[in-house]
Amino acid sequence: MNLFLIDIDNTVYPKQLGVFDAIDIRINQYMKNLLGMNDEQIDKLRKFYWNKYGTTMSGLIKHYHIDPYRFLDYVHDIDIESLIKPNPLLFHKINSIKAVKIAFTNAPKKHAVRVLEALGIIELFVDIFDIISADFRGKPNRYAYEKIINKTKADRYAMIDDWEVNLKTAKELGFFTVLVSKEHTKNVDLCVQRFEDLDENNLKFNMIVH
């Protein structure tokens, strides 16, 4: 079985739609309410958490013992349907790839479902492996990848994401890696500016040792 792990935010839709910007605003507001920090302090702390833990939430759990479920509900309470519309070209592209598709996201499943439904592509995915599935230890933490490998036990893996650091872990585990970015890098196997530009003939699936 070929398994294609597909990131959600800023990967299956362009960053310019502003979905993640809206989430960012909610995260900052959550931290203002919780910690009473100003914007500059929050920005500095979030960068530290990203570098050390991979996500803001992981840092807040470790240092402030927040309720992750409440955090996820609060920061993803945005009007997705006004920002994202159905994308028939994306549907055709994903449908043409001969592999089992699983959404692999640091967002909660509820958010992923809303995004995939708004794009009109949810029927193409057999499962959603979210931050809760990863026991709140999301990408790029190796734990999340190993858990999904143990769950799926596929023969070959490929992964697409908009964050190079997330693909670094995937590549270390033997996945074929695809970066969605306007910038090219030699640290992944393939770069595309948007998902729809992915040529399925160039997409490989690497066998890994379980």
Q: At how many degrees (to 10) do helices 56-64 and 68-75 cross?
A: 140
DSSP 88-147: HHHHHHHHHS-SEEEEE-SS-HHHHHHHHHHHT-GGG-SEEE-TTTTTT--TT-HHHHHH
**How far apart are alpha carbons 178 and 107 in whole angstroms?**
20
Specify the pLDDT at position 199: 95
Specify the pLDDT at position 23: 96
Specify the pLDDT at position 188: 97
Specify the pLDDT at position 78: 97
> What residues does 41 pair with on adjacent strands?
none
Specify the pLDDT at position 28: 96
Backbone phi and psi for residue 10, each to the nearest 5 degrees, phi listed first: 65, 10
Query: pLDDT digits over 86-129, tens only?
Result: 999 999 999 999 999 999 999 999 999 999 999 999 999 999 99
Specify the pLDDT at position 54: 83
- Domains of the chain plus CATH, in order, are 2-14+86-207 (3.40.50.1000), 19-75 (1.10.150.450)
**How far apart are alpha carbons 141 and 54 in whole angstroms?**
7
Specify the pLDDT at position 53: 87
Q: Which of the residues in the chain have pLDDT under 50?
A: none
- Full-model pTM: 0.94
Name the 3-class secondary structure at 43: helix
Specify the pLDDT at position 210: 62
Backbone phi and psi for residue 23, each to the nearest 5 degrees, phi listed first: -65, -40
Backbone phi and psi for residue 78, each to the nearest 5 degrees, phi listed first: -130, 165
State which amino acid sits at residue 161.
D
